[in-house]
Amino acid sequence: MRTRLPARSAVIRALFGLAAIGLAAQAASPALSPTVPLTEGPFYKAGSPERSNLAASVTAGQRLTITGTVSDLEGRPLGRAWLDFWQADSAGRYDNGGYQFRGHQFADAAGHYVLTTVIPGEYPGRTPHIHVKLRAPGGKTLTTQIFFPGNARNDSDPTFDRSLVVAMSTDGKSGQIDFVIPAP
Ligand SMILES: [Fe+2]
Ligand 1 centre and the CA of 39: distance in Å?
Answer: 9
63-180: CATH, from 3.30.450.40, 2.60.130.10, 2.60.120.200, 2.60.40.10: 2.60.130.10
Arithmetic mean of pLDDT, 130-148: 97
Quote the Cα angle for 38-44-48, to 5°. Answer: 125
Arithmetic mean of pLDDT, 21-29: 54
- Domain spans, the chain: 1-30, 63-180
Ligand 1 centre and the CA of 142: distance in Å?
Answer: 16
Indicate the pLDDT class of residue 30, thresholds 50, 70 and 90.
confident
Ligand 1 centre and the CA of 11: distance in Å?
Answer: 60
pLDDT (0 to 100) of residue 7: 55
Ligand 1 centre and the CA of 7: distance in Å?
Answer: 65
**Residue 172 predicted with pLDDT over 80:** yes
Q: How far apart are CA 166 and CA 103, in angstroms?
A: 19
pLDDT (0 to 100) of residue 52: 98
Q: How far apart are CA 117 and CA 119, in angstroms?
A: 7
Q: Looking at per-residue confidence, does 4 or 89 come out higher?
A: 89
Coil, strand or helix at 21: helix
Ligand 1 centre and the CA of 57: distance in Å?
Answer: 21
| Amino acid, res. 114 | V
Arithmetic mean of pLDDT, 131-135: 98
pLDDT (0 to 100) of residue 1: 46
Ligand 1 centre and the CA of 132: distance in Å?
Answer: 10
pLDDT (0 to 100) of residue 9: 58
Q: How far apart are CA 184 and CA 175, in angstroms?
A: 27
Indicate the pLDDT class of residue 117, thresholds 50, 70 and 90.
very high
Query: Which is nearest to 168 in space by CA: 135, 183, 146, 152?
Result: 146
Ligand 1 centre and the CA of 112: distance in Å?
Answer: 24
Ligand 1 centre and the CA of 86: distance in Å?
Answer: 8
pLDDT (0 to 100) of residue 3: 47
Ligand 1 centre and the CA of 135: distance in Å?
Answer: 19
Arithmetic mean of pLDDT, 82-99: 97
pTM: 0.84
User: What's the DSSP call for residue 173?
Assistant: S
pLDDT (0 to 100) of residue 156: 95
Ligand 1 centre and the CA of 129: distance in Å?
Answer: 6
pLDDT (0 to 100) of residue 12: 52
Ligand 1 centre and the CA of 126: distance in Å?
Answer: 7
**Residue 42 predicted with pLDDT over 70:** yes
